[in-house]
Amino acid sequence: MITVIIPVYNASQTIQHALQSINSTKPIEILCVDDGSTDNSIEVIRAFEQEMPRHYTLTVIQQDNQGAASARNNGLRHAQYKYVMFLDSDDQLTDTALQCYFEAIEGHPECSVYIGQMMHYKDGKAIRIVTQQLQAGKTTLSEQPELLQSIGPGAKVYRKCDIGLFDEDIIFCEEHTLNTQVMMKAVYVFDTPVYLYTIEAGQSITTNTQQFTKYMSDGMKVRQRVLAIIKASNLSEGSKQRIIQYYSYRMDELIIMYYVKRKLMATPLMQEEKAQLFEYMTQMVTTEYRVSTLMHMLYHFKYYGHMNEELNEWMAVHHIQWSNFEYTKFKLKTKVKDQLKQLR
């Protein structure tokens, strides 16, 4: 039996689709944690409750607005079943998702987390995420650092007794510590689509300076925490280094660099924002990081941010050099990619 935890905040336009996507012939507990909504989300949930299958139970938990991490943790504290999963109120499960999880649990009851395939959902169409290429079967983070491709809470079922809590003091990447810890235990991966992650048309980054500095500050906090978890583990030094190198790629390049790049493409960085960016990179080079990821970040920030003087000064302080030839190649490739995107 599985508990489905859904954080809800002003989700009246989407929560019905999320609830209706829960499809199971076995008992299911649904916990909707209302995080201080001001719309009619609860009324929509109550209407679904009147029509849901009799083998489902549904509970609405209300709290003051404290964020998604707090809502998920509140759901965990109230969950009655041995296994839990998280579903965002604007996402959906596939028709066979819960059946796949029940089969995985029955076949591999010793595992702590079960990971299925996430797909993007845009304009009513499910799109496979080609960059997520995990090897199916029983595994661990030390055997397959690429599990960090799936570091978010979606597309997973957890054995409740084996997981901790989400970090409530941050709002960016608050799931990283929980998933890093649980993936060091027994993991089962299957290559079946189970989760539809909604991408709204016209979705764009918020360029508010206060949010940017908060995200960068949170990024530094969670990066330190994850590295500390990996280093404190009982894994071999070789395994630790492989995981750290992949986490640097996942966090520093695929999350932070992508976030900053989109911000730079929207508006120049303010001085306070630049300071946060350089503080983040300083944390990288004074701890552990993936060298190719740092160079990729520097190329992007120079190309999109026009921060030649600041970057050169920072690189000189930290004794970092790059190849002008490699940067020229990067510029040409990036220019072509951006032009192709504009034509689509």
pLDDT reported for residue 344: 60
Comparing 203 with 308, the larger pLDDT belongs to: 308
Q: Is the pLDDT of residue 22 over 50?
A: yes
Tens of pLDDT, residues 286-305:
999 999 999 999 999 999 98
> What's the rounded Cα separation, in Å, for the pair 180 and 191?
20
Let me know whether 165 and 214 are in one domain.
Answer: no
pLDDT reported for residue 124: 77
For residue 98, what is the enclosing H or E element?
A: helix 97-107
Structure tokens that stand for 43 in this block: 């009324």
In angstroms, the Cα distances linking 305 to 123, 181, 274, 301 are 32, 35, 10, 5
Let me know whether 136 and 269 are in one domain.
Answer: no
pTM: 0.93
Indicate the average pLDDT of the chain.
93
Tens of pLDDT, residues 165-196:
999 999 999 999 999 999 999 999 999 999 99
In the chain, what percentage of residues exceed pLDDT 70? 97
Structural domain boundaries, residue 22: 2-198
Let me know whether 286 and 140 are in one domain.
Answer: no
pLDDT reported for residue 199: 78
Side chain identity at residue 148, one-letter code: L
Domain boundary among the residues 154, 170, 198 is at 198
Within a domain: residue 169? yes
Q: Is the pLDDT of residue 41 over 90?
A: yes
Side chain identity at residue 247, one-letter code: Y
Let me know whether 42 and 70 are in one domain.
Answer: yes
The answer to whether the beta carbons of residues 86 and 72 sit under 8 Å apart is yes
Tens of pLDDT, residues 49-97:
999 999 999 999 999 999 999 999 999 999 999 999 999 999 999 999 9
Q: Is the pLDDT of residue 19 over 90?
A: yes
Let me know whether 219 and 183 are in one domain.
Answer: no
CATH code at 127?
3.90.550.10
Q: Inter-axis angle of helices 291-305 and 258-266, to 10 degrees? A: 10
Residue carrying the six token digits 């199916």: 136
Let me know whether 164 and 217 are in one domain.
Answer: no
Let me know whether 216 and 156 are in one domain.
Answer: no
From 158, 115, 106, select the one nearest 137 (Cα to Cα). 115
Let me know whether 320 and 252 are in one domain.
Answer: yes
Is residue 279 very low, low, confident or very high in pLDDT (cuts 50, 70, 90)? very high
Let me know whether 173 and 215 are in one domain.
Answer: no
Let me know whether 323 and 213 are in one domain.
Answer: yes
Let me know whether 192 and 216 are in one domain.
Answer: no
Let me know whether 29 and 174 are in one domain.
Answer: yes
> What's the rounded Cα separation, in Å, for the pair 344 and 342?
6
Q: How many domains does the chain have?
A: 2
Domain boundary among the residues 133, 163, 198 is at 198
CA 40 and chain centroid, separation = 28
Tens of pLDDT, residues 98-136:
999 999 999 999 999 999 999 888 877 878 877 778 999
